[in-house]
């Protein structure tokens, strides 16, 4: 129904940076709460960062100070700027958009932090 398009993942050295992008269909005229989640093999999916309709943000404790979520100029477009990446940040990062109690997800973009 609603497909979120993600990009920006890849291989980066420890301490490096990546910028992930997520965009919802243009037919979604409202601004919705959005966020980034990540999941590594054998681990549960967890919140990385979220942003409300009004621009308030929330971050996982493990990424505070290193990662920033922001909205783009287009509606329901968000970015995840990741700096000072660590090997434990390696995971598939998925974008989320919430419409009421319904959650929509992107296909996921993998991030690998390794030397």
Per-residue pLDDT of the chain (115 residues; tens, 9 = 90+): 788 999 999 999 999 999 999 999 888 889 999 999 999 999 999 999 999 999 999 999 999 999 999 999 988 999 999 999 999 999 999 999 999 999 999 999 999 999 9
Collapse the DSSP code of 14 into the 3-class scheme (helix H, G, I; strand E, B; otherwise coil) and give the result: coil
For residues 53, 1, 92, 83, the Cα torsion angle rounded to the nearest 10 degrees is -30
- Predicted local distance difference test score (pLDDT) of residue 27: 84
């Amino acid at each position: 129904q609603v497909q979120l398009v993600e990009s920006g993942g890849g291989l980066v050295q420890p301490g490096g940076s990546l910028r992930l992008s997520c965009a919802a269909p243009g037919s979604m005229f409202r601004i919705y709460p959005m966020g980034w989640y990540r999941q590594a093999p054998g681990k549960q999916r967890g919140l990385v960062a979220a942003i409300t309709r009004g621009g308030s943000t929330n971050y996982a404790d493990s990424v505070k100070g290193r990662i920033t979520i922001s909205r783009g100029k287009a509606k329901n477009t968000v970015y995840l700027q990741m700096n000072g990446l660590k090997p434990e940040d390696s995971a598939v990062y998925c974008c989320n958009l919430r419409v009421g109690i319904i959650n929509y997800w992107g296909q996921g973009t993998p991030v690998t932090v390794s030397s």
